[in-house]
Structure 1
Amino acid sequence: MSNTAAGSTEKGSTTEGSYVSQGGEFTRDQRYIATRITADGRDGYPVEPGRYRLVVSRACPWANRAIIVRRLLGLEDVLSMGVAGPTHDARSWTFDLDPGGRDPVLGIERIQAAYFARFPGYERGITVPAIVDVPTGQVVTNDYAQITLDLSTQWRAYHRPGAPDLYPEPLRAEIDEVNGVVFADVNNGVYRCGFAGSQEAYATAYERLFDRLDWLSARLATQRYLVGDTITEADVRLFTTLVRFDAVYHGHFKCNRQKLTEQPVLWAYARDLFSTPGFGDTVDFDDIKRHYYEVHRDINPTGIVPLGPDLSNWLEPHGREALGGRPFGAGSPPPPPRDGEVVPAGHTPLPTA
């Protein structure tokens, strides 16, 4: 998520290139830094333990994907993680959660500094997630869709024992197909509703969103996961939108045909993933709400953050085990979050056991 895409919706271009057209349709700039970190180092950045730092904000759904995948694969020892705060100004995300307001590894106050270190005067969105080369302090990539795929495929030598295969080769075509429609109509669809500049553009986005949610409900009524019988990249990408739906998108973005809790299949599916180690324990509802309601002053001019919804129902039984499936395939769940990476107490409901 960018500091500008989510926070600026004036007609015409925003500072990152995302814009609302004359017809009122929100269009996301998808020109990301396409440099890849690969096992063979083909782009000049080989996979190396300890060399890179993943910069995220728990508020951001795109960054939340990378947090989940890194944890499921057990890459904590080889890829460190810096966590920016939930709000930002026009310049960039800031490390206001860290002592002194500086990332302890990169030594910078804003992720903007890593972008400018490689691209002076960088004019597109200063986005998270981003991976930074620690020795040079330069951003390597902010291509969030490719980042998680590369963590699965290029960092395989450093996966924990028992790590799941989130992007199994026999299922990649189907995963890619599902990801494509989910991105267009759901992940980005909620933004197309929230930042629509006309009633017509909003109505079009709204219908596409709920048509796709109905399609997903039908698909998931008879299978536990989106593709195959284990968790894959497709589930990670859908989850980070669903988990924000009632807290933010239903009201703030006017995605209000139904709440997630009023869509039985998707609600049970989301709770199933939430209770799976590596998913719910990465979610920070406090950061999520603060980001959207405080930063989007064009949508919420007062900056008042709602106190609800009640989150305790995320821990209710989901019953999805009856559909079969094995969350981690032949592997095993990840261990509990590391010290320093635990979501602050009170920010998300967690099992007491």
Structure 2
Amino acid sequence: MANGTYVEASYERDTAYIEDRITSDGTGQWPVEAGRYRLIAARACPWANRTIIVRRLLGLEGAISMGLAGPTHDADSWTFDLDPGGLDPVLRIPKLKDAYERRFPGYPKGITVPAIVDVPSGEVVTNNFPQITVDFSEQWRDFQREGAPDLLPAQLRGEMERVNKRVYTEVNNGVYRCGFSGSQEAYDAAFDRLFTALDWLEERLADRRYLMGDTITEADVRLFTTLARFDPVYHGHFKCNRSKLDELPNLWGYARDLFQTPGFGDTISFSQIKEHYYIVHSDINPTGIVPDGPDLSNWVSPHGREALGGSPFGAGTAPGPVPEGERVPVAENPHIGADGLVVVPGA
């Protein structure tokens, strides 16, 4: 497998995505329509993991199908090597690149997940991951489950946008800035920025259960996917090693609280996460050896965050069991039960 190169003198993420949107008002090329679109994600990828979580929290499984690429990819494309015959069972393609090329022949940029594909045409619609989850909340309301939480409360939007911006630039992207740094100077600066932000979050979560207060919002989804990967990959592989997550009491309790909440931990495949980073980033880890650790049993230990009050879903309810075809295998997350949910001892 010919992997790409990731290390740069000073890492900058390319954020020029396909900005098409699927909307509910009937305007534009892509109207909301149940069964028409397929979310292509990968459990390994934190940006794709966001869309898996929000789709599940809102109960959109029946309206938007989901295909999962395997944890490793080459410089060409994410591939459907988890599926029988190596083909996505709905799109009948071996590579996600095929959907990009069908709409944009000679597509010049990277083939990224998440992506939404129009099933009838087989063409990619969008890979603009921040907008995809917002539109799941705002444009797909007619297809959300009863009891779906409000992940974008109007009264919190202004503050949430500021929090999300700092979390994205300093934490979600900050770990990559450390890991892909090509000089000591760039790494040192990235390291300081990352842990300055983590210290800010540690303080923010000292007296509130969730980032925005008493209930889960989109902001929590965005932070969680980085935290779930911190000790398994970012601490060692990306050299983000001032502190492990489980050495930051408030962030560690917060991360476990979310992990044990339906819709979060039941989307996590620790084995796919580790396989992706340690194999795909061959310029960082040329041996391709995937570490056996760390011990992940502590993710279901008591977190004590209930003492701060609040309720994860506010006036809404938790999602039910994970649809059978979308459950994470126990071999990939030891905390998954027969219904696809995280099993918390004593709960």
Q: TM-score, normalised by structure 2?
A: 0.95
Q: CA deviation at 1:42?
A: 2.9
Paired amino acid for 2:143: Y
Matched, 1:339 2:324: yes
Q: CA deviation at 1:41?
A: 3.5
Task: Indicate conservation of the 8 Å contact 1:65/1:237, yes or no.
Answer: yes
Paired amino acid for 1:79: I
Matched, 1:284 2:269: yes
Task: Indicate conservation of the 8 Å contact 1:53/1:131, yes or no.
Answer: yes
Which one of the candidate residues 235, 239, 243 is aligned to 1:250?
A: 235
Matched, 1:76 2:61: yes
Matched, 1:9 2:6: yes
Matched, 1:329 2:317: no
Paired amino acid for 2:152: Y
Which one of the candidate residues 121, 125, 128 is aligned to 1:143?
A: 128
| Equivalent runs, 1:216-227 vs 2, <5 Å | 216-227=201-212
- The CA distance in 2 between the partners of 1:7 and 1:90, in whole Å, is 5
- The CA distance in 1 between the partners of 2:331 and 2:79, in whole Å, is 23
- The CA distance in 2 between the partners of 1:97 and 1:214, in whole Å, is 38
- The CA distance in 2 between the partners of 1:199 and 1:81, in whole Å, is 41
CA distances 1:276-317 after superposition (whole Å, capped 9, x unpaired): 000000000000000000111000000000000010000100
Task: Indicate conservation of the 8 Å contact 1:59/1:288, yes or no.
Answer: yes
- The CA distance in 2 between the partners of 1:42 and 1:253, in whole Å, is 43
Partner residue of 1:102?
A: 87
CA distances 1:175-228 after superposition (whole Å, capped 9, x unpaired): 111010000000000000000011111011100000000000000000001013
- The CA distance in 2 between the partners of 1:101 and 1:9, in whole Å, is 26
Partner residue of 2:246?
A: 261
Partner residue of 1:85?
A: 70
- The CA distance in 2 between the partners of 1:37 and 1:56, in whole Å, is 17
Matched, 1:179 2:168: no
3-state SS in 1 of match to 2:316: coil
- The CA distance in 1 between the partners of 2:195 and 2:32, in whole Å, is 40
- The CA distance in 1 between the partners of 2:63 and 2:196, in whole Å, is 41
Partner residue of 2:23?
A: 38
CA distances 1:212-254 after superposition (whole Å, capped 9, x unpaired): 0000000000000101311000000000000000000000000
Partner residue of 1:215?
A: 200
- The CA distance in 1 between the partners of 2:322 and 2:79, in whole Å, is 23
Paired amino acid for 2:144: H
Which one of the candidate residues 189, 194, 198 is aligned to 2:174?
A: 189
CA distances 1:116-146 after superposition (whole Å, capped 9, x unpaired): 0000000111000000000000000000000
Matched, 1:301 2:298: no
Q: CA deviation at 1:9?
A: 2.4
- The CA distance in 2 between the partners of 1:90 and 1:329, in whole Å, is 43
Q: CA deviation at 1:170?
A: 1.4
Q: CA deviation at 1:25?
A: 1.1
Paired amino acid for 2:80: F
Task: Indicate conservation of the 8 Å contact 1:9/1:298, yes or no.
Answer: yes
